[in-house]
Amino acid sequence: MSRGLAAIKKVVEYVTNSKGFEQCLKNVTVVSAGDGKCRVEFPVEDGHLNGGGTLHGGFTATLVDCISTYALMTTGTGAPGVSVNINVSYLNAASPGEVIVVDAKTCKAGKRLAFLEVELSKKDGGRLVARGQHTKFIM
């Protein structure tokens, strides 16, 4: 059974209102979700920056992790799985005020493993900021 936009918005609302780490996603807006995909947007803000004043690599990796998980949750049983491997390639800097679009898709979800891909790009102009791959174990 596929879960869509409403379900993923509820998941994001729940985790961002918790006291856990994922509250760092509080300014992320879910644009679309369903059929193994998820798209979100967020403005780069001061809390997202590294010491050089651009989008922090750790926050970027968190986005790859979380948004690909939401994409996976729109497939199969809706289970989020457990991370086995995550890889992020950082391609361009993003500065405060820029809006970033995060597109995640499920490439394959088998019985035990799921393979996901994520791209972060600037909404204005589409310049690629980062690309990630995420492998999850499905329980």
CATH number, domain with residue 60: 3.10.129.10
What is the per-residue pLDDT across 41-75, written as a single tens digit (0 to 9) for each? Answer: 999 999 999 999 999 999 999 999 999 999 999 99
> Higher pLDDT residue, 49 or 23?
49
Domain that holds residue 35: 5-137
Helical ranges in the chain per DSSP H: 5-16, 57-72
What is the mean predicted confidence (pLDDT) over 81-97?
A: 98
Tokens of 91: 């391609």
Determine contact, residues 99/124, Cβ cutoff 8 Å.
yes
Q: How many structural domains does the chain have?
A: 1
What is the per-residue pLDDT across 112-134, written as a single tens digit (0 to 9) for each? Answer: 999 999 999 999 999 999 999 99
Predicted local confidence at residue 1, as pLDDT: 40
